[in-house]
């Protein structure tokens, strides 16, 4: 039996996608083998990757001036790879610190070059996104890096930041959950394991004009140009194959506006439930609340542990908050349906009635 | 229908493994979700990774002094990561050049530090492994790097090299195809997509005493210590899951001595067929022939194209040689059975009878 899956990542995928994967085992279409067993230069995989790129561009409304790369290494590799390519000596990159993952990106960038902390909500325990008006940006910055959604702290940007420098965004946890105005961006990266597919592939979108600014002398494997020019080495074939199916599922469910509407509806249901009584307390400032990770506390840690335990027994999985902050976290990525959120709200009502 | 799969990689996996994967969709055991949808810190994934490490150590007869890492990035990342960690300023690393992949490893190492080309078969079109007696090794070298099997050229080391320096080996294409004497090694890496599992995970074995020698100041994600100490970031969960099943399959089929016996038997059948007449000509020098990639030519390129085309129609897939060298390549990794090799030999007989 499949549970209601609120895992923060790797996370729920559409059940129809999982079933398609099953149906295409042990043989993928005309390949005579599973998709795990065919060359990354085979016509079958070439078609899969090309379809994934086409769907991605279509969903985001972008053209061939955007390179769509499927890389290894996760966001943690991007933390280093971005400044290695785009933060030359003498230049400054602006970073906004809104949580643990932002802080890691900043740490790696500082090992490469000059970083200006444009804004931070660290002093406020990362419970909000600093207002754009309070940002201290650098004139002529190489780029401005931000984390569009903060999985641990349950906060999310609700508008694309407006700055002069090209935006670089770690969108790992809300990518394709809503439309993006790509005009201000130079590069967006997202580990697949939240809204896109299985762990092991990182989607990187890089605009041609931004790519042209990369530094010389970057090691081959870490140079974005290497991957923009050709299929340099073996990609994570299976993960890209699943990503292509997830993109098709997004298309079939209203595209990014469809995802945004669904996610708003789920968020409204859950946050309204949180706000209805004092038993549950949302941890993020209301204007910064994430539609991907809904974080909240109960009156005591004992009650929180009991909540997680009982929820699991009731078929609601993955609700324990990140170990660094505690509490409860319900991750409601694209593939988590209204049925799951409704089941969670019903459980919350019941739990409060019994223990509140 | 599943074909006889001679793909050079990603390559054939045991059919029983593929069927188990199918059976564990859409729900993995007690997880309530597929293995793609559960946290990399869940008890289920933790058990999978731990079992994979235990099986790996058991197959190789090694203990806890060896770190078993499941990394992202493929061998192409290791080409850079190895010297970045282990080739300090003022030191020299020895490299043996036996093919296109060795050459790439050498190129990346030269971008980091001082490289001595200990031996090369480039002048002989990479048709052989240079004899140990002809190697020009550096006293006190940081390490000696070699490529144990050369997929493009069809050559393979048949003994573990004996040198004073710790061995570093790109074993991507023959790892776990036979026992290894691990005593001389400091680090072994292997992209999974030949003998181990799907593309997207790279197995790195690093000995504790070698790891202790790594340089300071290596970026977090590229520092082997980062991954030896803890699960630093999200691994390629699905690929590790399949690798664990492949390791269990190797155990159930006689371990590494069982694999070696099977691979010798397959190689004997195929190479004996090659040598029987002049119609097929093996490209590797007999003492250096690979048991993983059997490369050969026919009297003309037209006949080679016809051979590949007709073989595909007869259910023998992936026989086209690498685009850089042409000809025919039959990749016969662990999971390619005697039935497949026998079918290929029968086809070769038939093709020669008709076109020879």
Chain B residues near residue A10 by CB distance under 8 angstroms: 36-40, 234, 237
Q: What does the pLDDT average to over B315-341?
A: 97
Closest residue in B to A240 (Cα–Cα):
B200
Contact residues for A232 (Cβ-Cβ < 8 A; gap 6+)? A220, A221, A226, B76
B201/B46 Cα distance (integer angstroms): 16
Burial B204-213 (b: 16+ CB within 10 A, else e): bbbbeebbee
Tens-place pLDDT, residues B20-35: 999 999 999 999 999 9
Q: What does the pLDDT average to over A322-339?
A: 96
CATH 3.90.1150.10 fits A255-355, yes or no: yes
Shortest distance between the Cα of A73 and any Cα of chain B, in A, equals 5
**Cα angle vertex A285, ends A281, A291, to 5°?**
85
Q: What is the mean pLDDT of chain A?
A: 97
Shortest distance between the Cα of A277 and any Cα of chain B, in A, equals 31
Q: Has the ipTM of the complex gone over 0.95?
A: yes
Q: Extract the tokens encoding A301.
A: 């840690």
A179/A103 Cα distance (integer angstroms): 26
For the purposes of burial, counting CB atoms within 10 Å of the CB of A7, is it exposed (0-12), middle (13-18) or buried (19 or more)?
Answer: buried
Tens-place pLDDT, residues A217-269: 999 999 999 999 999 999 999 999 999 999 999 999 999 999 999 999 999 99
Tens-place pLDDT, residues A271-280: 999 999 999 9
Interchain contact, B242 vs A9, CB within 8 Å: no
Q: Is the pLDDT of residue B307 over 90?
A: yes
Tens-place pLDDT, residues B56-67: 999 999 999 999
Chain B residues near residue A198 by CB distance under 8 angstroms: 36, 236-238
Mutate: best of A39, A40, A87, partner B, most B CBs <10 A: A39
Shortest distance between the Cα of B117 and any Cα of chain A, in A, equals 20
Pairing of strands B185-191, A144-147: unpaired
Closest residue in A to B18 (Cα–Cα):
A26
Tens-place pLDDT, residues B71-88: 999 999 999 999 999 999
Q: What does the pLDDT average to over A49-60?
A: 98
DSSP-based three-state secondary structure for B5: strand
Q: Look at residue A8 in the predicted model and tell me its pLDDT.
A: 96
Domains of chain A, by residue range, sit at 15-252, 255-355
Q: What does the pLDDT average to over B300-305?
A: 97
Confidence of residue A321 (pLDDT cuts 50, 70, 90): very high
Q: Look at residue A1 in the predicted model and tell me its pLDDT.
A: 85
Q: Let me know how long chain A is.
A: 356
Candidate from A111, A200, A221 with C-beta closest to B238 = A200
Cβ distance A298 to A328 under 8 Å?
Answer: yes
Q: Is the pLDDT of residue A203 over 90?
A: yes
Contact residues for B49 (Cβ-Cβ < 8 A; gap 6+)? B70, B231, B235, B240, B244
* A101 is annotated as an active-site residue: yes
CATH 3.40.640.10 fits B15-252, yes or no: yes
Q: Is the pLDDT of residue B329 over 90?
A: yes
Beta strands in chain A (DSSP E): 4-5, 66-71, 92-97, 114-120, 144-147, 149-150, 155-156, 167-170, 185-191, 202-207, 281-282, 293-297, 316-317, 328-331
State how far Cα B258 lies from the chain centre: 17
Chain B residues near residue A233 by CB distance under 8 angstroms: 74-76
Confidence of residue B322 (pLDDT cuts 50, 70, 90): very high
User: What is the residue whose two structure tokens read 């409204």?
Assistant: A268
Q: What does the pLDDT average to over B205-217?
A: 97
Mutate: best of B32, B222, B312, B340, partner A, most A CBs <10 A: B32
Chain A residues near residue B318 by CB distance under 8 angstroms: 39
Closest alpha carbon to B190 in B231, B135, B140, B247: B247
Q: Look at residue B96 in the predicted model and tell me its pLDDT.
A: 98
**Cα angle vertex B68, ends B34, B337, to 5°?**
70
Q: Look at residue A356 in the predicted model and tell me its pLDDT.
A: 85
Chain A residues near residue B239 by CB distance under 8 angstroms: 200, 236, 238
Q: What does the pLDDT average to over B32-54?
A: 97
Confidence of residue B356 (pLDDT cuts 50, 70, 90): confident
Percentage of chain B exceeding pLDDT 70: 100
Q: Look at residue B351 in the predicted model and tell me its pLDDT.
A: 98
């Amino acid at each position: 039996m499949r549970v209601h899956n609120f895992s923060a990542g790797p996370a729920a995928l559409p059940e129809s996608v999982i079933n398609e994967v099953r149906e295409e085992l042990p043989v993928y279409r005309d390949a005579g083998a599973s998709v795990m067993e065919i060359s990354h230069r085979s016509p079958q995989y070439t078609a899969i990757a090309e379809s994934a790129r086409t769907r991605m561009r279509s969903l985001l409304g972008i053209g061939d001036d955007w390179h769509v790369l499927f890389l290894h290494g996760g966001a943690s590799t991007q933390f280093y790879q971005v400044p290695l390519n785009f933060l030359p000596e003498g230049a400054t990159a602006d970073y906004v610190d809104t949580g643990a993952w932002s802080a890691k990106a900043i740490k790696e960038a500082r090992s490469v070059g000059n970083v200006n902390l444009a804004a931070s909500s660290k002093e406020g325990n990362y419970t909000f996104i600093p207002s754009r008006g309070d940002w201290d940006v650098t004139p002529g910055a190489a780029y401005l890096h931000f984390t569009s959604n903060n999985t641990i702290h349950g906060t999310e940007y609700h508008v694309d930041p407006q700055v002069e420098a090209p935006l670089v965004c770690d969108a790992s946890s809300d990518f394709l959950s809503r439309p993006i105005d790509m005009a201000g961006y130079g590069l967006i990266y997202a580990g697949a394991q939240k809204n896109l597919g299985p762990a092991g592939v990182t989607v990187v979108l890089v605009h041609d004009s931004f790519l042209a600014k990369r530094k010389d002398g970057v090691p081959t494997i870490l140079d974005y140009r290497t991957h923009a020019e050709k299929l340099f080495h073996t990609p994570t074939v299976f993960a890209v194959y699943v990503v292509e199916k997830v993109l098709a599922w997004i298309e079939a469910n209203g595209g990014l506006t469809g995802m945004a509407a669904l996610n708003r509806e789920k968020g409204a249901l859950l946050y309204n439930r949180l706000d209805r009584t004092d038993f549950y307390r949302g941890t993020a400032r209301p204007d910064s609340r994430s539609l991907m990770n809904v974080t909240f506390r109960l009156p005591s840690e004992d009650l929180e542990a009991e909540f997680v335990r009982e929820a699991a027994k009731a078929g609601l999985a993955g609700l324990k908050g990140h170990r660094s902050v505690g509490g409860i976290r319900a991750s409601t990525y694209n593939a988590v349906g209204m049925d799951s959120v409704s089941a969670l709200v019903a459980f919350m009502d019941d739990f409060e009635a019994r223990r509140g």
